[in-house]
Structure 1
Amino acid sequence: MSNIVDLDKKYVLPTYARADVEFVSGSNARLVDSEGKKYVDFASGIAVCSVGHANKRVNDAICKQLSNITHTSNLYYIAPQARAAQKIVEASGYDMKCFFGNSGAEANEGAIKIARKFGEKDGEIKRYKVITLQHSFHGRTITTVKATGQEKMHNYFGPYPDGFVYADNIEHVASLVDEHTCAVMIELVQGEGGVQPLDKKAVQELAKFLKLKNVLLMIDEVQTGVYRTGKFLAANYYEIEPDVVTLAKGLGGGVPIGVVMTTQKDVFSAGDHGSTFGGNFLSTTAACEVVDILNEIYDSGELQKNIDYFDSELEKFYTAHKDIFTSKVGIGMMCGLRVKDGDTLTKIIYRAREEGVIVLKAGRDTLRLLPALTITKEEIDEGFISLNRALNSL
């Protein structure tokens, strides 16, 4: 591994505070590093490996597609792209169309462009303002960084695009809507903001208010989407009908992909938006297989059983360590435990890795768990045994 570390330090920009480990293989919710050490993965690549590592069905679908064609560009029809769009829209339950990109940030850029063009369509006053929430996270491009309601994210890279307004909380949003507002963009469970679910009733009331004002409701489901909360979309869980939804992370099972889907089916014309790689044969073939797998375990009840068992074991773990944790938060397989202080959280993540289980940080004080949706009972048991060892060794 020392050679890889040397190469990384010499040739890769230091934008990540990397842990001192190199993973070389995996199977479902298990990983193996370059030294042969085994781990249970409660992070799934930050909610990306939704059907686990080295999923045979996804791998077989990708290999079959690669043996035929990988990429031609969006100047031509792409069969798996059309099929992926159909599967996504049907699973969502909404009457929408899709645009494919390569990441969550790109999906959110597409959503913002939809909102801005929607705001120009009628009336004399140009509507351009997008309201987001404090502690939100929407990406790392110049525009999505500015859409992110965290002041620390706005250092160094200005000047930024104008038109973003930050609400203190979900109840504050309506008071900020004015004649220049075209959209509101929210995460229903804030991920980087600390695994913080929004109040369901407040979200539903906001959705009704925005319909009356003809302002788009855009839901960033980059982390919550594709069954992470137990439903295909968190918006389904919240029982709302958004105008725009963005997806990425878990949709490709590890292959980069992003999607913006919208009820505004005619908002874009040819040339208004585009992507060279977005929606190519490789990424959309992966997405088709991932959605099929997750639809099957959702319909069979297996997904809910996995969620229920993980939640019960997490509750036991939380109860056993209330001297360290202050609360348990999250929905479905998007889970968090509030830690009493940031230094302790850092130690927990390090000790967990030493004991063979991978967990994450969210916000300043939240231990975040995002296991593969296909995680087994045995993997859950093994992971919590390792986590208990980690905390007992602090």
Structure 2
Amino acid sequence: MTLKEMDLEYVLHTYARNYVNFKNGIDATLYDEEGKDYIDFTSGIGVVSVGHGNKRLSEAICEQAKNIIHISNLYLIEPQAILAKRLVELSGYDMRLFFANSGAEANEGAIKIARKYGEVDGEIKRYKIITLKHSFHGRTITALKATGQEAMHNYFGPFPDGFVYAENIDEIEKLIDEHTVAVMIELIQGEGGVEPQDKEKVQNLAKMLKEKDVLLIVDEVQTGIYRTGELLASNLYEIEPDIITLAKGLGGGVPIGAIMTSLKDIFKPGDHGSTFGGNYLSTRAANEVIDILEEYKNSGRLDELMIYFEDKLKEIAKRYENLFEKEVGIGFMRGLRAKSADIQSKLLQKSFENRVLVLKAGRNTVRFLPPLTISKDEINEGIERFEKAIKSLEQ
């Protein structure tokens, strides 16, 4: 039985896989079992923030694994406390953290915080949460209902009540009523087409919500941990949310999620929990990721390569105006908006055939989420292969 046959026989068919067997990787380059190299512009969907095979991260993980991997949150976890302190100090926000295992879990926890905030003397007074159409907040039942894409809601109902979808930021205020407790947004919609929100509109929204005592939850599962050039996209947008959720790039590949909140005493013991969340292994890895990326940011190298990558994609968008509407995104969270779903689909497949990995996103967008430590040579090689894929469409 081949590996592909084994996968098809024993693994649930929830992914439209490309059947390639990667054996190792160095930074933004992956190698399959035949030794062929692939330029990775996906970083495991924004997860492998410090690249594949990062020596510092692997050594930190190995060192921790030799001592303690897990003890549970019933006891003090040294790297967890250190990570919480660092994220608070680097963000500049006066917050406390809860650690989970994924972005969906972090968003579930954020929703629970908002719902508890809406209670008065144990009675539910406010429970509605407004999210945006085209948003994506996770695959669990509640996070899926928070996702403002109707297609995502097929088959899995009945869903929890209390979610309202705004067409855009401009529409949010008129949807707020006496039962509204929070607004939950992505500052850049990833699955929704790498679509950045307007900075001034976001700032006005944050001010209005504060005046109305409605919580602002910012889903930074994809935008967080220097993906946009700053530790948080919230820093870039110069706002102070009440709740921020993190995951993906925080662990560099080790599963971890986090909730940051200014509601520092909202939860009491027993209100929320996680068996694995924030254990020794995941928080030790996350601390090393933060070390690496903070140094990289301070060196100026991160900003330099983000600009370089952006310029390359803008050149492609201009050169192939027959295929693309525009280039979109911020930092190393970018996209090329194709003129049709057919162009997008064919280009994803042709890119894979030319050994450059890219992603699909909404609004017919080809999405790019390279490792933050990608080299200029890897950018050049990846763009060259991507352009070959484009040219193969025109033949």
TM superposition score normalised by structure 1? 0.98
Q: CA deviation at 1:88?
A: 1.3
How do residues 50-199 of structure 1 correspond to structure 2 at under 5 angstroms? 50-121=49-120, 126-199=125-198
- Alignment partner of 1:28 is 2:24: no
Which residue of structure 2 lines up, in the alignment, with residue 205 of structure 1?
204
Q: CA deviation at 1:35?
A: 2.4
Which residue of structure 1 lines up, in the alignment, with residue 295 of structure 2?
296
Secondary structure in 2 matching 1:166: strand
Distance 1:38 1:125, change over 3 A: closer
Q: Provide the C-alpha distance between the structure 2 equivalents of 1:318 and 1:38, rounded to a whole number of angstroms.
A: 26
Alignment-mate amino acid for residue 318 of structure 1: A
Q: Provide the C-alpha distance between the structure 1 equivalents of 2:214 and 2:347, rounded to a whole number of angstroms.
A: 43
Cα pair 2:47 2:248 within 8 Å, conserved:
yes
Q: CA deviation at 1:125?
A: 6.3
Q: CA deviation at 1:124?
A: 6.9
Secondary structure in 1 matching 2:328: strand
How do residues 181-260 of structure 1 correspond to structure 2 at under 5 angstroms? 181-260=180-259
Bigger CA drift: 101-110 or 3-12? Answer: 3-12
Q: Provide the C-alpha distance between the structure 2 equivalents of 1:318 and 1:34, rounded to a whole number of angstroms.
A: 34
- Alignment partner of 1:379 is 2:381: no
Q: Which runs of 4+ in 1 moved over 2 A?
A: 121-125
Deviation readout 1:3-60 (Å, 9 max, x if unpaired)? 1111111111111111121211111000011222111111111000011001111101
How do residues 336-347 of structure 1 correspond to structure 2 at under 5 angstroms? 336-347=335-346
Secondary structure in 2 matching 1:117: helix
Alignment-mate amino acid for residue 312 of structure 2: E
Bigger CA drift: 29-38 or 108-117? Answer: 29-38
Q: Provide the C-alpha distance between the structure 2 equivalents of 1:114 and 1:44, rounded to a whole number of angstroms.
A: 31
Cα pair 1:324 1:340 within 8 Å, conserved:
yes
Secondary structure in 2 matching 1:393: helix
Alignment-mate amino acid for residue 9 of structure 2: K
Which residue of structure 2 lines up, in the alignment, with residue 17 of structure 1?
16
Which residue of structure 2 lines up, in the alignment, with residue 349 of structure 1?
348
Cα pair 1:125 1:179 within 8 Å, conserved:
no
Cα pair 1:352 1:387 within 8 Å, conserved:
yes
Q: Provide the C-alpha distance between the structure 1 equivalents of 2:121 and 2:234, rounded to a whole number of angstroms.
A: 28
Deviation readout 1:175-194 (Å, 9 max, x if unpaired)? 11111111100000000000
Alignment-mate amino acid for residue 236 of structure 1: N
Deviation readout 1:194-234 (Å, 9 max, x if unpaired)? 00111111111110000001111000000000011111111
Which residue of structure 2 lines up, in the alignment, with residue 307 of structure 1?
306
Aligned residues: 393
Alignment-mate amino acid for residue 246 of structure 1: T
Deviation readout 1:308-336 (Å, 9 max, x if unpaired)? 11111112222221111111110111001
Which residue of structure 2 lines up, in the alignment, with residue 393 of structure 1?
392
Cα pair 2:313 2:336 within 8 Å, conserved:
no
Alignment-mate amino acid for residue 94 of structure 1: Y
- Alignment partner of 1:331 is 2:330: yes
- Alignment partner of 1:43 is 2:51: no
Q: Provide the C-alpha distance between the structure 2 equivalents of 1:390 and 1:122, rounded to a whole number of angstroms.
A: 61
Distance 1:110 1:123, change over 3 A: closer
Cα pair 1:313 1:384 within 8 Å, conserved:
yes
Q: Provide the C-alpha distance between the structure 1 equivalents of 2:121 and 2:47, rounded to a whole number of angstroms.
A: 39
Secondary structure in 1 matching 2:67: coil
Alignment-mate amino acid for residue 29 of structure 1: A
Cα pair 1:223 1:248 within 8 Å, conserved:
yes
Alignment-mate amino acid for residue 332 of structure 2: M
Cα pair 1:257 1:279 within 8 Å, conserved:
yes
Which residue of structure 2 lines up, in the alignment, with residue 262 of structure 1?
261
Q: CA deviation at 1:122?
A: 6.2
Alignment-mate amino acid for residue 286 of structure 2: A
Cα pair 2:136 2:148 within 8 Å, conserved:
yes
Alignment-mate amino acid for residue 38 of structure 1: D
Q: Provide the C-alpha distance between the structure 1 equivalents of 2:120 and 2:100, rounded to a whole number of angstroms.
A: 24
Secondary structure in 1 matching 2:2: helix
Alignment-mate amino acid for residue 351 of structure 1: K
Q: CA deviation at 1:302?
A: 1.1
Runs of 5+ consecutive residues of structure 2 not aligned to the other structure: none
Q: Provide the C-alpha distance between the structure 2 equivalents of 1:316 and 1:79, rounded to a whole number of angstroms.
A: 47
Q: Provide the C-alpha distance between the structure 2 equivalents of 1:207 and 1:191, rounded to a whole number of angstroms.
A: 21
Secondary structure in 2 matching 1:25: strand
Bigger CA drift: 373-382 or 16-25? Answer: 16-25
Alignment-mate amino acid for residue 65 of structure 2: L
Cα pair 1:125 1:180 within 8 Å, conserved:
no
Cα pair 2:131 2:163 within 8 Å, conserved:
yes
Q: CA deviation at 1:268?
A: 0.0
Cα pair 1:51 1:373 within 8 Å, conserved:
yes
Alignment-mate amino acid for residue 64 of structure 1: E
Q: Provide the C-alpha distance between the structure 1 equivalents of 2:353 and 2:16, rounded to a whole number of angstroms.
A: 17
Q: Provide the C-alpha distance between the structure 2 equivalents of 1:268 and 1:164, rounded to a whole number of angstroms.
A: 22
Alignment-mate amino acid for residue 243 of structure 2: V
